[in-house]
């Protein structure tokens, strides 16, 4: 079953991936609700556990942003929004990144303050079935259990994010990685308190906060650069997207094209492509030539449905000659 994303119809493989991603996000929200409740019940006065609880609360943002963006992107273009609603993915990505950055900064401040003040967080005991149990054991047990789901769903989300070119889904997978790292850090912090190292709790909280801030800054940089139309990159922002080079190579192979350059605008889950071509001297251009060239570009990949081919006398400087960054592609 195909899925319509604005004016782009997703191929079957991507449609199935999108349905799986939506189901996975609802599963994520369900286990996060259980995790947040369990951590709240046992966190006591531990700063590391409090940081872990806040981090779990923040983990709701990426899946909720993804689910909202998917609904908005499905709307068709209109006179007011001629490019459709694909930018919703980028906006959701930015919202998630800002939330991570803000909370990471706040937790770093609290952790550093706790270390400087030399705070000694007390961990009491609870009575279960007439037996007194050190609360630290419950904390570590809960955190150990909560490490399992993020590892599983995070790996699946990365694979789906690659198929869909969805950076919000990738940011959510990044958050899942932070979740299990946070759980491990909390276990270390609580164990340190039990062994008499009062500073272990604040140190673990600082480790957790630094991870949150790092993820937030990295995702915020990627979201902002996409929204201001930087060179299109792969889903993980690691490299320039190879499709730019593939389009240029295809156009230069056409017998009537002397040179070609491409610039790509990342709309969120699809690309808006402007392909500039310099015709061979003496070529009589026709609408059918341009239409065939456009169809050939769009056929390279499903993300290229919104492509225009523009004949020019000389290539724009940013896409042609030695300064052109799109003459060859990278690797995904």
Mean pLDDT, to the nearest integer, of 292-319? 90
Query: Measured in whole angstroms, how far is the alpha carbon of residue 134 from the centre of its chain?
Result: 39
Q: Which single residue is written with the structure tokens 């908005």?
A: 72
Report the percent of the chain where pLDDT is more than 90. 24
User: Does 211 share its domain with 251?
Assistant: no
Same domain, 194 and 260: no
For residues 75 and 133, membership in a common domain is answered with yes
Q: Can you give the residue range of the structural domain that contains 190?
A: 3-227
Strand order from edge to edge, sheet including 257-266: 257-266, 271-279, 306-311
H or E segment to which residue 261 belongs:
strand 257-266
56-60, 204-208, 248-252 — most confident range: 248-252
How many domains does one find in the chain? 2
Residue 119 predicted with pLDDT over 50:
yes
Cα gap 226→90, rounded to integer Å:
7
Give the residue, 122 or 36, on which the prediction is more confident.
36
In a domain, 258, yes or no: yes
CA proximity to 25, closest of 58, 55, 52, 61: 61
Answer yes or no: is 236 within a domain.
no
Rounded CA-CA distance 225/88 in Å is 15
The pTM assigned to this predicted structure is 0.79
Nearest Cα neighbor of 143 from 207, 52, 29, 61 is 52
CATH code for position 81: 1.20.1510.10
Task: Supply the CATH number for residue 263's domain.
Answer: 3.30.300.30
What's the CA dihedral at 98, 104, 110, 113 to 10 degrees? Answer: -110
Query: Predicted confidence band at 52 (pLDDT cuts at 50, 70, 90)?
Result: confident
φ/ψ of 129, rounded to 5, equals 65, 35
Cα 103 to Cα 118: distance, rounded to the nearest angstrom = 22
- Rounded Cα gap, residues 96 and 65, in angstroms: 7
List, in order, residues 6 or more apart from 303 with CB less than 8 Å away: 8, 165, 243, 269, 270, 271
CB atoms within 10 A of CB 154: 19
């Amino acid at each position: 079953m195909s899925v319509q994303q604005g004016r782009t119809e997703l191929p079957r493989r991507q449609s199935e991936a999108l349905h799986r991603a939506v189901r996975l996000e609802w599963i994520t929200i369900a286990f996060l609700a259980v995790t947040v409740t369990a951590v709240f019940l046992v966190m006591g006065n531990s700063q590391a556990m409090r940081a872990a609880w806040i981090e779990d609360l923040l983990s709701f943002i990426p899946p909720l942003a993804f689910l909202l963006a998917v609904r908005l992107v499905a709307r068709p273009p209109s006179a007011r929004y001629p490019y459709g609603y694909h930018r919703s993915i980028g906006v959701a990505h930015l919202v998630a990144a800002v939330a991570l950055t803000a909370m990471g900064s706040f937790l770093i401040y609290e952790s550093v303050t706790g270390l400087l003040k030399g705070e000694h967080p007390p961990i009491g005991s609870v009575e279960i079935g007439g037996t007194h149990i050190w609360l630290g054991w419950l904390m570590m047990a809960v955190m150990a259990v909560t490490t399992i789901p993020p590892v599983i769903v995070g790996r699946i989300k990365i694979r789906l994010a690659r198929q869909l070119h969805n950076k919000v889904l990738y940011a959510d997978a990044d958050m899942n990685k932070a979740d299990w790292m946070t759980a491990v850090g909390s276990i270390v912090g609580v164990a340190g308190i039990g062994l008499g190292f009062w500073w272990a709790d604040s140190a673990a909280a600082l480790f957790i906060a630094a991870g949150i801030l790092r993820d937030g800054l990295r995702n915020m940089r990627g979201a902002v650069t996409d929204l201001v139309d930087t060179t299109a990159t792969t889903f993980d922002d690691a490299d320039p997207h190879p499709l730019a080079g593939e389009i240029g190579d295809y156009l230069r192979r056409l017998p009537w094209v002397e040179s070609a350059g491409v610039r790509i605008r990342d709309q969120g889950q699809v690309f808006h492509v402007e392909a500039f071509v310099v015709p061979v001297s003496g070529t009589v251009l026709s609408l059918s030539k341009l239409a065939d060239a456009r169809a050939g570009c769009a056929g390279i990949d499903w993300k290229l449905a919104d492509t225009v081919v523009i004949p020019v006398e000389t290539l724009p400087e940013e896409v042609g000659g030695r300064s052109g960054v799109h003459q060859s592609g990278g690797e995904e």
